[in-house]
């Protein structure tokens, strides 16, 4: 579950990107609210992110 504050939520996301295996982040609204097209930016540098509605 994503923390409600923007910076801790992104810290969790970065930790998930560094972890081995598959990670699932639920309720990513705080990240989407604070960072425009973060998924697109991360995938452009090689991250494998799948966004599910």
1 in a domain, yes or no? no
Main-chain dihedrals φ then ψ at residue 49, nearest 5 degrees: -125, 130
Q: 3-state secondary structure string, 4-53?
A: CCHHHHHHHHHHHHHCCCCCCCCCCHHHHHHCCCHHHHHHHCCCCCCCCC
21 in a domain, yes or no? yes
Domain range for 30: 6-44
| pLDDT tens digits, one per residue of 16-37 | 999 999 999 999 999 989 999 9
Looking at residue 45, its pLDDT comes to 95
50 in a domain, yes or no? no
Domains held by the chain: number: 1
53 in a domain, yes or no? no
Answer for the pair 39, 49: CB distance below 8 angstroms, yes or no: yes
For residue 51, name the pLDDT band (cuts at 50, 70, 90).
confident
């Amino acid at each position: 579950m994503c923390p409600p504050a923007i910076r801790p939520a992104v810290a969790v996301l970065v930790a998930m990107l560094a972890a081995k295996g598959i990670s699932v982040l639920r309720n990513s609204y705080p990240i989407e609210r604070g960072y425009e097209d973060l998924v697109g930016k991360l995938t452009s540098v090689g991250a494998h992110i799948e966004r599910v509605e």
